[in-house]
Structure 1
């Protein structure tokens, strides 16, 4: 009887190991979760954006990075993972809890967490040891710098309500701009799954 669990473990390891990798298999609801993120972010608005016009800032989102057409699959996964992780970290601060409806904030954090778990699996499967190196290279590093600029902006603005509103709108734009990466990964998954 002890042979069965060992055999199952070996089959799973072979199916997803370096030689037998079938690509990143995102769950079917992964794209739905990204849409859910946008809906939740939209609902979190507490101040009219027109009230905060003086606080607007160009954070210089690295659009060419998230275009995705020039990225290998592992890089695309790394960039998406970094965007979600940085957003998740930003939302877990005590300042964000004071700025937004905590029920919506909790729902968004749970959705981000589910996406991060799926991408963690993909990142390990696609990159293996290379994963940590990808986090310090071009596209992923550009995303880190972008979010560092957002954190500095919030600090300069003393985490004001308007600063959080500007950041909320910026994160929505970033998620919308990352849609090509999501779509690319979903399409690559379909291509791998079809005979």
Structure 2
């Protein structure tokens, strides 16, 4: 078997092991599983592209993540916020990626991981209560508006990928609040 095939097989095995771990953990250990997922997602985002190219620096923008989301009053609120962030990221990264030049397999792994984690979180979310994340939705809408304004250019996607990495750093903060 060639080295390329072995590498692909190894990555598939990692995804399967990750998936098995995700599905086997109970909700009391969700914060540990979320830490693993964050690390995996950051690795995938980094492999999708390197640093921001110099020609893209003119396109940078300061997206304002709503800081109040990072100070949840209850562990359940943190879970709901992480769920919302993952859903929004899935929505953004599910469209108009043709100009990115990213490997389709990496994008698929990233989207599969987002979907898997979203489903896993849904198993652990409270059934009662409806928390509105208006500011968080507005934040993600500004990212989508930025992509549209830049016609989903390569530079726009590089910047959004960087912002997605920041989102996973925010998820790390929220994950610490998930512990009971």
Larger radius of gyration: 1
Matches within 5 A, 1:1-195: 25-26=29-30, 28-45=32-49, 48-66=52-70, 68=71, 70-93=72-95, 95-99=96-100, 100-123=102-125, 126=126, 128-130=127-129, 133-134=130-131, 137=132, 140-185=133-178, 187-188=179-180
What's the RMSD between the two structures over aligned residues?
Answer: 2.0
The answer (yes or no) to whether the contact 1:91–1:97 under 8 Å persists in 2 is no
Equivalent residues, number: 154
Give the unaligned 5+ runs of structure 2. Answer: 1-25
The answer (yes or no) to whether the contact 2:31–2:175 under 8 Å persists in 1 is no
Matched residue SS, 1:119: helix
**Structure 1 residues 39-72: Cα deviation after superposition (integer angstroms, max 9, x where no partner):** 1111111674433110000111113322x3x432
Shift of 1:113: 1.3
Shift of 1:24: 5.0
Deviates more, 1:168-177 or 1:40-49: 40-49
Q: Which runs of 4+ in 1 moved over 2 A?
A: 22-25, 27-30, 46-51
Q: TM-score, normalized by length of structure 2? A: 0.77
